[in-house]
Amino acid sequence: MIKRTLNDIAEMIQIENDLSPYGKKEIQGVSINSREITPGQLFIPFKGERTDGHQYVSDAIEKGAAAAFWQEDVPNPPTHLPIIIVKDTLTALQELARAYRNQLSIKVVGITGSNGKTTTKDMMANLLALKYKVQKTEGNYNNHIGLPLTILALEERTEVAVLEMGMSGKGEIDFLTKLARPDATIITNIGESHLQDLGSREGIAEAKLEIINGLKSDGLMVYMGDEPLLRNYFDSYEGQATVKTFGRTEQNDLYPVNIQQLDNGSKFQVNASEVEFTLPILGMHNVLNALSAMIVAQHFNVSFAEMEAGLVKVRLTNMRMEILQGQNGEKIINDAYNASPTSTQASIELLANLPGYKKKILVLGDMLELGADEERFHEEIGLSICAENIDAVFTYGRLGHLIAKGAKEVLSEDRVFAFDEKAPLIEELKKHVNDETIVLVKASRGMKLEEVVEGLQ
């Protein structure tokens, strides 16, 4: 984590404060939450939806914070305390992170895409940790606040930082990538996430492609080559970066062969090696996520034989294809972190192809932020369900009724159940599960469908 004096920090964010007598006081790390302060940190207050962090500056320092920022338009700064007056605390956080990143002799991998950023980040970190001291985005800290916090948590001796870059609007990735200045970048896919804000998949692709704006000129750009919106862009790309593709088809630089679906993951080989890889994470989409990380790992001189050891140890951030056990002996795939049409289709494909279960049940909730076509997207999900592979569908939420409507076109009505409340859904679902059943649970973050998973356990 960042360790600098207050004088250093004033210089790094280019402000002129008389910090005496505190100028030589050193901070260790940064926090935006006084409830989580650890000794020596710099506390950065934000005006939030529920309260203003400036109310907690004195409290933070009493709890051991070494110093705090204070936004100049907030009255009554506690001048008797070690504080740095700034024009805007968010900008100060971001510029401190930018300056710190530029002082570090570190390689950076930036990962974006509609789906799979967090998963790919976890896989990437595992592969690079075989050879390097690696730090990565924790959880989903991937935006204009989370990414700067992640950078400021980097140790001076860290060799590679794996940073997740999220967005829900144009210009957001451009800001993040120019701050992080990555040496390698990945675009996992182009789905429909945040379509409401971006207007079209073309708009989503344009926003994701901003990641190349911060890529080092001799850097590596890796993208999902089966996506026409990306391939069309790179077919006329004239930049100096090395461009590599991954995907299902042989048009890509790296693609999987001899894929075996296991009950807890996949075995596969790739076109560029004889090594057989085992990925203890379900789903073909996660094989693709692994391929993107493997291309970057190869760029960092990690061998395929070493990658085999790295992939077999991958453990994902929770609620992504998390395999759990229910009260009645059923297996549960908790994939409830988030959902869009692309990620939901990937999960339905996974469940349909999973060997070893007599009964397979889908529990699907609303997919949010999809814009004007949201109802069509949900009905199409229902229509896509294959009656031969899926035994029952339970839906939750207003838009879940549209999934049910589509599902009833392909499954008999007695195999489709739509609910507006979680408790009755859980009660009915328990009647349908036993030790030969597997249940997959998926919806957007805002639906909190993990509460259904908890109801089964």
Rounded-to-integer distance, Cα 343 and Cα 86, Å: 42
The smaller minimum CB distance to ligand ATP, of residues 84 and 108, is found at 108
Rounded-to-integer distance, Cα 243 and Cα 213, Å: 14
Rounded-to-integer distance, Cα 42 and Cα 29, Å: 6
Is 446 annotated as a binding-site member? no
The smaller minimum CB distance to ligand LVM2DEV6, of residues 190 and 220, is found at 190
The dihedral formed by the CA atoms of 211, 320, 453 and 377, expressed in degrees to the nearest 10 = 50
Rounded-to-integer distance, Cα 364 and Cα 82, Å: 51
Return the amino acid letter for 42: L
CB of 70 to ligand ATP, least distance (A): 32
CA proximity to 182, closest of 124, 259, 251: 124
- The residue assigned the tokens 């349909």 is 352
Strand partners, 331: 325, 438
Rounded-to-integer distance, Cα 216 and Cα 220, Å: 8
One of 5, 17, 28, 168 touching ligand LIQMQMZN (CB under 6 A) = 168
One of 8, 95, 172, 210 touching ligand LIQMQMZN (CB under 6 A) = 172
Number of residues that bind ligand ATP (CB under 6 A): 22
CA proximity to 85, closest of 95, 73, 98: 73
One of 140, 278, 303, 317 touching ligand LIQMQMZN (CB under 6 A) = 140
Secondary structure (3-state) at 20: coil
Q: Does 166 bind ligand LIQMQMZN (CB under 6 A)?
A: yes
C-beta separation of 115 from 192 below 8 A? no
- What residues numbered 1-40 form the site for ligand LVM2DEV6, per CB under 6 A? none
C-beta separation of 125 from 134 below 8 A? yes
Residues in the chain: 457
Residues in contact with ligand LVM2DEV6, shown as a per-residue x/- string from 386 to 425 under the rule CB under 6 A: ----------------------------------------
Rounded-to-integer distance, Cα 447 and Cα 336, Å: 9
One of 41, 188, 344, 444 touching ligand LVM2DEV6 (CB under 6 A) = 444
Q: Does 342 bind ligand LVM2DEV6 (CB under 6 A)?
A: no
C-beta separation of 441 from 418 below 8 A? no
Return the amino acid letter for 203: G
C-beta separation of 211 from 190 below 8 A? no
CB of 147 to ligand ATP, least distance (A): 13
One of 69, 141, 300, 337 touching ligand LIQMQMZN (CB under 6 A) = 141
One of 21, 48, 75, 355 touching ligand LIQMQMZN (CB under 6 A) = 48
Q: Does 289 bind ligand ATP (CB under 6 A)?
A: yes
Return the amino acid letter for 150: T
- What residues numbered 105-124 form the site for ligand ATP, per CB under 6 A? 113, 115-119
One of 338, 343, 344, 395 touching ligand LVM2DEV6 (CB under 6 A) = 338
Single out the segment in contact with ligand LIQMQMZN by CB under 6 A; choices: 32-40, 239-247, 356-364, 417-425: 32-40
Please choose which of ligand LIQMQMZN, ligand ATP, ligand LVM2DEV6, none residue 368 contacts, taking the beta carbon within 5 to 8 angstroms, the exact cut-off set by kind.
ligand LVM2DEV6
Q: Does 29 bind ligand LIQMQMZN (CB under 6 A)?
A: no
CB of 315 to ligand ATP, least distance (A): 13
Rounded-to-integer distance, Cα 171 and Cα 147, Å: 15
Annotated binding site for ATP: 113-119
Where does this chain bind ligand LIQMQMZN (CB under 6 A)? 32-35, 46, 48-51, 53, 56, 139-143, 145-146, 149, 166-169, 172
